[in-house]
Amino acid sequence: MNRTGAIALTAAVGLAWSAPARALPTMIRLGYANCAACHISPQGGGPLNIYGRAIDEAQSLRSAEYRPSENRLVKLLSVRGLVQQDLRAVFADQRSWAGHPPGTAVFRPRLMYRNVTDLGKGFRLSAIVTGETKFLPRPPLHYDPPASPSTIVVNTALVHYRASKTLEFAAGSDQLPTGVNVPDLGVFIKSRNRYGYYDSPVQVKAFWGEKRYLVIPFAYAPAGNQPDAGRESGAGTLAEFDLLGKGKTVVGVSVLRGTGVGGTRQMVGGYTRVGFGRWGILAEHDFADRTRDSMTPAFGSFRQQASYAQIFWAMREWLVASAIGERLRVEQPFAEQLTAGKLEIAARLTNQASVGLVARAQRNQLAHIWGKSVTVQVAVKTAQ
Amino acid sequence: MKQYFGPTVLAVVIAGPVTPFDTTAAAQSIPGQTGDRAAVVDVLGGSAIFDAGTNISAINVHGKSTNLGGRAQIRQAGDVITIEQMEARLAVKTITTGMGLRDEHMRKYVFTTGDGQTPDLKFTGDRADCASVPGGGGESICKISGQLEIRGTPRPFAITLKVNKAGDAYRAAGDGTVKLSAYSIPQPSQFGVTTTDDVKLHIEFTAKPPITNQLEARAGGIR
């Protein structure tokens, strides 16, 4: 396989199996306009609050009443409800092809420990730690090298302070806030904008929101796993608004400006999440203007555009199918033109087990190479 | 050719389960209204959407039914519409929230009587004079008061409808608010999430002459 083919294959692998299946922006179809309804963290991801656990169970194939665990060990570990924690195991098996067979087969198991500890008086700690053996860094780009992977990854380590019902602050290490907030970290709008699996910059952020709006200003600095050429500091804001006030028509914008060793990055994006009962649409388009100074191998300025569109349909409450289209355009001197399509079906069997099947095809329009992949993912977690 | 009906009386009876072939009152003059005309208009498959806020800012509970049925009487004199004898019905089992388990909870805790029955929601409207909207392209605003039965218990209820005439049909949409406490229904609560006492209600429907009327009209039976 030539180098271009290898890059296409690597991209296809990375782009289809990195979904941690943790956030569900598709819940917009039922009027859940943001993550805070079900997740303890207003950014989504991580442990569910008790209402979210009930929804998790109600929306599963089993569709049972949620009852907090009566297991003595679980109750003991929860320290009278102050500690919310679980273990989550995700097993992804992927077959990929670039050009002609034979392709590659990769099995990627991960184990996550997720903890939220209530400290009282509005303060809490949250952490997500992942153990893995197969690494999945972002695509290695000359102008944006990926964060370094490791066997033990601290995805999230935050101190939160909830000042009021509508205002929360957080400081620590985490993924930066994003627009449509799809769980797949391999999509262009994420993998090409430094929202990869190992990107957890040091940051402070605030969540200010009411029923119809949410504003998330943030400032960040490089994490320890960033290579020198990829270190970046900056600030940005997400702002979204529920147009019709029913929690089903959210539009938002995101802005970010970062300064790194080799240049700057300015990103502006627009996104929407809309739901219509059984189906809905998630869409985002981002512009990222980068400059690279004369110290880098290629200097000047160039623009990157990444698009994402997903139409989803809840065939059953527990069974959601999606068709997804993506597009990436990068200007010279790092010209890239990628187009991708993905079919995805996700089934929530119980509040502890889910399965997903993803078929993806990606076209490198400059190299005229197709990359294809099929992924099966099984996720199980302990219940509280 | 434009037809002139003079002060027109349209009899629109909203009933449910809708009986579109039971149209004996359709398109008949109402006694004592010499020169007036009456017609019957049914509602089939109208939609009713409710929206309840909660104590958690990120959570609202929505539900919908597309089985609103009914019947009413309408008089029309020029641009002025008067609605009378309005009756609407909605089967509880047709209301869904998108989550099966939540639907069960809703039926059990909101709509089930002490003896285990789940009677349909029923609205009986008083006479309502509608005001045409100046420059509204034929739109009228109708403030309808009446009795809304939930769990078989009638309580005063008011809704404001925007009504537009389209051919021989009337398209209507309106909003009202139901207070659970008026029916002695405790605010549903689950895992710390409690709905508000006020539940917003939005309805949309098209009222048409009963099918038999339409058939007769096509056959030249109505002049």
Q: Which residues in A lie closer than 8 A to residue B98 (C-beta atoms)?
A: 29-30, 277-278, 317
DSSP state, residue A179? S
Q: How confident is the model at residue A140 (pLDDT cuts 50, 70, 90)?
A: confident
In this structure, the number of other CB atoms found within 10 A of the CB of residue A67 comes to 10
Number of domains in chain A: 1
The whole-number average pLDDT for the span A355-360 is 96
Among all chains, which residue has been given the structure tokens 């939540």? B102
Tens of pLDDT, residue by residue over A110-122, are 999 999 999 999 9
The most confident of A47-56, A249-258, A375-384, B131-140, by mean pLDDT: A249-258
Residue B7's pLDDT is: 35
Q: Does B56 touch chain A (CB under 8 A)?
A: yes
Q: Does B216 touch chain A (CB under 8 A)?
A: no
Among all chains, which residue has been given the structure tokens 């038999």? B212
Nearest to A246 among B62, B98, B192 (CB): B62
How close does chain A come to B107, measured CA to CA in Å?
A: 15
Tens of pLDDT, residue by residue over B148-168, are 999 999 999 999 999 988 888
Q: How confident is the model at residue A139 (pLDDT cuts 50, 70, 90)?
A: confident
pTM: 0.84
Boundaries of domain holding A126: 2-381
Alpha helices (H) along chain B? 100-106, 211-218
Instruction: State how far the alpha carbon of B217 is from the alpha carbons of A96, B73, B197, in Å.
Output: 66, 19, 47
Tens of pLDDT, residue by residue over A207-265, are 999 889 999 999 999 998 888 888 999 999 999 999 998 889 999 999 999 998 878 99
Residue B137's pLDDT is: 77
Residue A209 tokens, joined: 């929101």
Tens of pLDDT, residue by residue over B164-195, are 888 888 899 999 999 999 999 999 988 888 99
Q: Which residues neighbour B136 within 8 Å (Cβ) at sequence distance 6 or greater?
A: none
SS3 content of chain A, % helix, strand, coil (to 5): 10, 50, 35
Q: Does B169 touch chain A (CB under 8 A)?
A: no
**Residue among B208, B156, B200 nearest B176 (CA):** B200
The answer to whether A29 and A276 are in contact (CB under 8 A) is yes
> Which residues are bridge partners to B176 per DSSP?
B159, B201
**Lowest-confidence pick of A203-207, A325-329, B44-48, B89-93:** B44-48
Q: Where residue A214 sits, what CATH number does that domain have? A: 2.40.160.10
